[in-house]
Amino acid sequence: MPIEALYIHIPFCHAKCSYCDFDSRACNGISLERAASVYLDRLCNRLDSFGAAGAFAHVATVYIGGGTPTVLGSRLPWLVKRVREWCDPVEFTVEANPESFDAPLAGELACSGVTRVSIGVQSFVDDELRAIGRLHDTPSARAAIEAALSSGLDTSCDLMCGLPGQTLASWNHSLDVAIACAPGHVSVYPLTIEEGTPLARRAEADPTLDPDEDFQAECMELAGDRLLHAGFERYEVASYAKPGKICRHNCAYWTGASYLGIGRSAASMVAADELRMFANLFGMSESDGGAARIRLVQKDDEATRFELECLGAREAMAEDLMLAMRMTAGAPVTLLEQARDVIGKVRVDEAIARALHQGLAAIDSVTGALQPTERGWLLGNELYGLMWDLASS
Amino acid sequence: MFSSYRLYARGLDTIRPMDTFDTSHIRNFSIVAHIDHGKSTISDRILELTNTVEERDMESQLLDTMDIERERGITIKSNAVRVMYTADDGETYQFNLIDTPGHVDFTYEVSRSLAACEGAVLVVDATQGVEAQTVSNANLAMNADLDIVPAINKIDLPSAHPEEVKIEIEDELAIPADDAVCVSGKTGEGIHDLLEAIVFLISPPAGDADAPLKALILDSYFDEYRGVVATVRVIDGRIRKGDQLVMMQKGHGFLVDGVGVKRPAETLVDELAVGEVGFVVTGLKDPEAVHVGDTLTYRDRPCAEPLPGYREAKPMVYTGIFPIDNKDYENLRDALEKLRVNDPSLIWTPETSVALGFGFRVGFLGLLHMEVVKERLEREFDLDLIATSPSVDYHVFKTDGEMLCVRSPQDLPDVTRIDHIEEPFLKAKVIVPPEYTGAVMQLSIEHRGVMTDMVHLSQKSVEMRFDIPLAELILDFFDQLKSRTKGYASLDYDFADYRTSELVKLDILLSGDEVDALSFIVHKDKAYALARGLCDKLKEIIPRQLFEVPIQGAIGNKIIARSTVKARRKDVLAKCYGGDISRKRKLLEKQKEGKKRMKAIGSVEVPQEAFLAILKVED
């Protein structure tokens, strides 16, 4: 399987949100300029090396995420063009935050070859935005969506439930505004308190900040109802799209496709035989013998240190099943058959039977695919756990 | 891992404890005290002042070598250490210091250790004075005919009142306190005086070096490589490597693999001479072969008669101990046997539970003892265990006239076949300042106690006596007593007799199925409140599951309390892109590990602590 997806990480933000544990540093003004130019130089070197090695020949989707890529300003369209020198993706997404995304930048990005923007809105209630340390407010979020749409970009809007101070009514309001802004794609994430974040420290002192699971369940259900009603389809546990607007790049992550990640903290996943082409770029002489799938995470700016994870055939299979359970399409019959071959029929059928018995998944009567149920969406970890268990004999 | 002694000892060449000491230069003594009065700190200071341990190696509670002891700041096991002291008279003395536990649960360990001594240092806290365990330990020491050196500790504290404590010692213990040594384990003040007092007030051991060997086994533990290692006190004769010995009660013989002393690291010596304390490597691989309290003698030249054995410690409380994973059943049995080598009070019988599978009903001296044993089994033998509700030994009289001893609610016959049930009662003695008598009376009533006597001992203390069911005392009585009297009360108790009580079996049902391991025997009048409390507590402890879990409390077929663990509605991590996948998988694995520590009862995952929820129900 050739590499279909390319991810590029921009580890800068204007300010770090209180819930965020992604790799990003808060930078502004001249210090951002300096850091960004050094970082981008290295990034482009990597890009060119991989390009020269032929790694991008089949790339269909590109995603520049962060951090907040839009803090790069006009350097961002430049970077997009640099990427497009090596490949011609059908989908090219850039992550954006409202405070650093306006109509001129939207226009420039569209011109440079970006097709899609994913905007970190999170909420349309100002108090909730402040509570999690977001820099933008509701009007700028509306303006950002408006700017993206007017530039002809496919637009996605992220929303979060379980925020401090959020109520079912305020959540409903955020959904109202999101639907009214008419993006083609909405992602709905329940807030999780990650260790080591400022929010985690605050929640330790004030347990009411800990998101209530029942509340989040209600929010997720409400979002499902409202978005479906507004013409969206749920194609993944957290992702809703109008027809033709699903994110192909993200689907690559959930269907076992190979992807390359460039930049600090970016993850690559490749089949063992593919790695041979450019193993030297990961500082490896040769790929690991027994592994079917290799995941590499870049640990530094210079791309000299990588975290390596090798999965055997059985583990890779279990991972595919686990990820398939995130998607509406589920695990198609072909995948289930493959799993029976690799893992063993008894184990796989046992896991399927349990998922069915617990009401977490159902068999599609037409295609025979194993698909998550409504309950399977909300209790995803149970369902994913069942599948990942198959990795161990 | 029984002997996790760190290597503190100085090199062999500097020790010279193997020089033969004539018995007039040997002092064998214990340090006894009420819990928290500071005997471990005093032991530490003695080791330090006699240079047994270099200052740089000094850490607190040196003699408490078990992790549990250090973490909890308590002494559970006795420990014998040899210390060399050059006294003011210029002579060098060999001290064998035997550290002993302070908690009421471990009294029998104290009496075992005292049998090896000629004297005892009785430590009394200069701020708290004589407390319950001071009295009982002093009594044990006097019954063993020991020379007692009173030491008043913590004199560095501003609230210390040593002169009053001296009067208390004389009045309450009838021990002359003129010679009491005032010390501070913390600053080291007075420790030198204490060492001098030990030399002059405690008698040297009597004993005949040329007589046939007679040695008392004080303690023993199992070592993977060396087999059973026994701590002994030589009464007559001597022990050397290569001696053929025999244990007089058990009859097992063995060749001595080595003898040594703890300083506090284990150090081999040429011989254990008359009057000395040390350890003997038996090489015996069967933990059961060595019985604490037995007498060692020569196989070919035995002594005339064995030393009197110990009074066996009687368990008061019984709980079921089950491995979470049934495959560990045999490992648990092995672990119990190995633990018994150095805790002879442990007894057990096999028990089967529908909910928990195969396990054991284990007898304990008290709840602290239970906690300690469970923790040691889990840590030292790497087991995941469930302990079930504690029970006492009930006498159940059946309609056909037969009497059953019931230690587990599951063994209770059907109500229609029970004529009546008797339960053990204690005579409890509480000493408190007068302002707390009301609180203690209230507590006693709540625990079905009947006051029998109340005497003003002094202006500051009242002695209250009452009869109380053991079953009430083993739950949270002691903690409640401490909290309601701001820690002032002391408690002592003795078995009284068996009395008829109206007892019923309270069953707990999870998702409609009775869980035998959660059943509990309780007085009829308390059943409703307890059932409600237990259902509520279990609701807190049992995590939300995929399905709603009703919890019910029942007596026979009658449901008397209920609560519900609501079904879990959401458990999903929605964000999962390229870099998140490995992390999410690890999270799923962690969740699974968490489940492993729970017991699946039917379809319900029940955490370990649910089975001891009864201890956490508030009145």
Which one, of B155, B135, B144, lies nearest residue B117 by Cα? B144
Residues 6+ apart with CB under 8 A from A22: A66, A67, A265
Please check whether residue A235 touches B, CB under 8 A: no
Say if CB B466 and CB B452 are below 8 A apart: yes
Which one, of A166, A157, A158, lies nearest residue A216 by Cα? A166
pLDDT at A116: 98
| Homologous superfamily of B12-201 | P-loop containing nucleotide triphosphate hydrolases (3.40.50.300)
Q: How far apart are CA B64 and CA B79, in angstroms?
A: 8
Quick one: pLDDT band at residue B3, thresholds 50, 70, 90?
very low
Tell me the range of A279-293, B310-324, B329-343 where mean pLDDT is highest: B329-343
Q: How far from B467 is each of A329, B229, B365, B498, CA to CA, in Å?
A: 71, 43, 19, 11
Q: How far from B49 is each of B32, B55, B121, B221, CA to CA, in Å?
A: 20, 9, 17, 29
Q: How far apart are CA A128 and CA A202, in angstroms?
A: 15
Residue with token string 């009376």 = B441
Quick one: pLDDT band at residue B311, thresholds 50, 70, 90?
low
Say if CB B287 and CB B340 are below 8 A apart: yes
Say if CB A118 and CB A94 are below 8 A apart: yes
Distance (Å) from the C-alpha of residue B608 to the closest C-alpha of chain A?
A: 21
pLDDT at B7: 29
- Which chain A residues are closer than 8 Å to B589 by Cβ? 388
Which one, of A171, A177, A113, lies nearest residue A146 by Cα? A177
pLDDT in tens, B88-141: 988 899 999 887 655 556 656 666 677 889 999 999 999 888 877 787 778 778
pLDDT in tens, B228-250: 899 899 999 999 999 999 988 87
Domain residue ranges of chain B, discontinuous segments joined by + = 12-201, 214-298, 317-387, 395-501, 504-616
Q: How far, rounded to the nearest angstrom, does the alpha carbon of residue B271 sit from its chain's CA centroid? A: 32
What was the ipTM of the complex prediction? 0.88
pLDDT in tens, B26-38: 999 988 887 778 8
Please check whether residue B578 touches A, CB under 8 A: yes
pLDDT at A112: 97
pLDDT at B332: 95
What mean pLDDT, rounded, does chain A reach?
94
pLDDT at B110: 65
Same fold, B214-298 and B395-501: no
**Which of A213, A235, A319 to mutate to probe the B interface, most B CBs <10 Å?**
A213
Which one, of B337, B245, B329, lies nearest residue B288 by Cα? B337
Q: How far apart are CA A349 and CA A354, in angstroms?
A: 9
Q: How far apart are CA A186 and CA A246, in angstroms?
A: 10
What mean pLDDT, rounded, does chain B reach?
84
Q: Tell me which DSSP letter residue B10 carries.
A: P
CATH number of the B504-616 domain = 3.30.70.2570
pTM to 2 decimal places? 0.70
Q: Is the dihedral of CA A277, A280, A284, A285 positive or negative?
A: positive
**Which of A6, A253, A311, A390 to mutate to probe the B interface, most B CBs <10 Å?**
A253
Confidence check: pLDDT of B71 > 60: no
Supply A206's token pair: 């004030």
**Phi, psi dihedral angles at B132 (to 5 degrees):** -50, -50
pLDDT at A140: 96
| Range of lowest pLDDT (A30-39, B71-80, B144-153, B462-471) | B71-80
Residues 6+ apart with CB under 8 A from A358: A382, B546
Residue with token string 């290597």 = B7
CATH number of the B317-387 domain = 3.30.70.870
In chain A, what are the domains?
3-250 (3.20.20.70), 313-391 (1.10.10)
Q: Is the dihedral of CA B298, B301, B307, B309 positive or negative?
A: positive
Supply B437's token pair: 């008598």
| Mean pLDDT calculated for residue range B200-220 | 90
Please write down the HEC assignment for all residues of A279-324.
HHHHCCCCCCCCCCEEEEEECCCCCCCEEEEEECHHHHHHHHHHHH
Task: Inspect the interface and report whether the beta carbons of A384 and B577 lie closer than 8 Å.
Answer: no
CATH of B395-501, one of 3.40.50.2300, 3.30.70.240, 3.40.50.880, 3.20.20.80: 3.30.70.240
B214-298 is classed CATH 2.40.30.10:
yes
Confidence check: pLDDT of B505 > 80: yes
Confidence check: pLDDT of B4 > 50: no
- Which chain B residues are closer than 8 Å to A265 by Cβ? 579
Reduced to 3 states (helix: H, G, I; strand: E, B; else coil), residue B25 is helix
Q: How far from B515 is each of A43, B380, B413, B483, B554, CA to CA, in Å?
A: 62, 29, 17, 33, 11
Locate the DSSP E strands across A36-109. Answer: 61-66, 91-96
CB-based burial, B519-529: b 16+ in 10 Å, e otherwise: bbbbbeebbee
Instruction: Nearest by CB to A190, from B570, B588, B591: name it.
Output: B570
pLDDT at B254: 92
Inter-residue long-range contacts of B172-178, CB under 8 Å, 24+ positions, other chains counted: B172/B130, B172/B135, B172/B457, B173/B122, B173/B130, B173/B134, B173/B135, B173/B138, B175/B122, B175/B138, B175/B142, B175/B148, B175/B150, B177/B150
Which of the pair, B55 or B602, is modelled with greater confidence? B602
Quick one: pLDDT band at residue B5, thresholds 50, 70, 90?
very low
Quick one: pLDDT band at residue B308, thresholds 50, 70, 90?
confident
**Which of A309, A379, A386, A389 to mutate to probe the B interface, most B CBs <10 Å?**
A379
- Which chain A residues are closer than 8 Å to B577 by Cβ? 65, 250, 253
